[in-house]
Structure 1
C-alpha cells in the first residue's frame, strides 16, 4: 500500500490533482462566488423594482392640480360673492399645497377652511 504525498489533497482525484478537472459549467455545480453574484443581481433587481414602485406612487401624488376644476369648486361654494371667489381663486392658485388641501376637504369644510385662510391673510 502506498501512502499519499502530503502535497496531494483528499478530494478523491488521486495523483492527478485538481489541475486536470474539466472547466465545463454544465457538469459541476456553480461556484460559491457565482451563487453570491447571482444572489446580488437578484437582490439589486428587486430593490430597483421596489424603488420604481415608490417613484411611481410619489409621481402620482405630485401631479399638478387642475385650476379649472379648482375654480369650478370655489364658484360652487354657497354665499361667496364675486370678490370673494376671485380672492379665493388667487389664494389657492398661488400654492399647490393649499389647492390640494382644499380639494381633500369635504364641501362644508372647504368653505370654513377657505374663509379662515382668507381672513388671516387680509388681517
Structure 2
C-alpha cells in the first residue's frame, strides 16, 4: 500500500469528509460537502487547500520540511508522500485546513481550482 493510499484510507474514516472526484477531474478528493480540500493526483503526493492567508502564516514552517512544496501566493500546497511521517504531516495539515474552513461561512465560495497539471509526455 502506498503512502497516498494509507492517507486516503485514514481520511475516509474522518467524519464530515466526503470523498469523490475533484473539481479538476484528475484523481480523488476529500473535503467537506461542496468543498475540495485535498486532492490525490498520484501515488506520491497530495495537494491541499489551506487558503492563501494560512499558507502565508505557515510559510516559515512549511519551508522547513522537504515534503512540502509551496508556490508564492498560492492557496494550495503539495505534500510529497514517501513515508509514514509524510502521511502524518498531511493528516495534521488536513486537520488545520478543516479548522480554517470552519472559520468560514457555510455558504462561502469553495476552494479555487487546484493548479495541478498533467505531466507532459516526453
* Higher relative contact order (Cα pairs below 8 Å, separated by 6+ residues): 2
Q: With the length of structure 2 as denominator, give the TM-score of the two structures.
A: 0.28
Larger Rg: 1
* Structure with greater strand share of residues: 2
Q: With the length of structure 1 as denominator, give the TM-score of the two structures.
A: 0.28
